[in-house]
Amino acid sequence: MFRLVTLNLNGIRSAANKGFVQWAEQAGADCMGVQEVKAQQEHVVDRFDRVAGMTGHFHLAQKKGYSGVGLYTRRAPSDVIVGFGAKEFDAEGRYVEVRYDTTSSRRGFSKFSVISCYFPSGSSGEERQAAKYRFLARIYPHLVRLRAERDFVLVGDINIAHQEIDLKNWKSNQKNSGFLPEERAWLTRLIEQAGLVDVFRTLNPRPEQYTWWSNRGQAWAKNVGWRLDYHLATP
């Protein structure tokens, strides 16, 4: 069995102060994707480069205290890919991919990747929403090309709630970033046309399953949340 988990840290140093490392040790993952690391290389080395017996591979933002993604792996990959070839977003530290390309007598040559990705949020205003749309336009063909070449699982904070079931107050959020028709249509296209699988929703059709809650209005206590984090896999 291969156990793959993902979490948005909202700052790896802050998360460590809140028990992230201890949680990771108990999670028993073989691979763990993290997003919003919000750290530079000097903050990671000798403190977060290994967690729970796993080695970290990172794509950190050029801007201090911003974005950044990582993948912790128990097994050494055959290759690590940092960035996906979009200069604007590669500077923001949004994509890291580990590859496990192997040859065996039973299966021949197999290609498999795990990707940790952090999609932009557009909630701060029109400028960032426009950047989010540019990101979606660039990442889509990349994933389509990758899908033609290899099996993969992309984990991460996609900042899109796909269907009405994926957020508590869907009626009042139809004009808000994260639940805009254009964003939802993009994710539908990725699943239905590009052929990726929303793993969690395939396995769990129940409502009120969320991954993000606002800090306002006792959203966590009342489970008023959004499902913004995904495992998207080739079949």
Please answer whether residues 234 and 197 qualify as being in contact, where contact means their C-beta atoms are separated by less than 8 angstroms: yes
- Edge to edge, the sheet with strand 95-104 lists 79-82, 95-104, 108-118, 151-157, 229-233, 197-198
157 is a catalytic site residue: yes
CA distance 162 to 179: 7
Q: Which amino acid is at 62?
A: Q
Catalytic residue among 157, 166, 198, 229: 157
CA distance 212 to 7: 10
CA distance 157 to 153: 13
Please answer whether residues 104 and 128 qualify as being in contact, where contact means their C-beta atoms are separated by less than 8 angstroms: no
For tokens 């590669």, the residue is: 90
> Catalytic residue numbers?
157
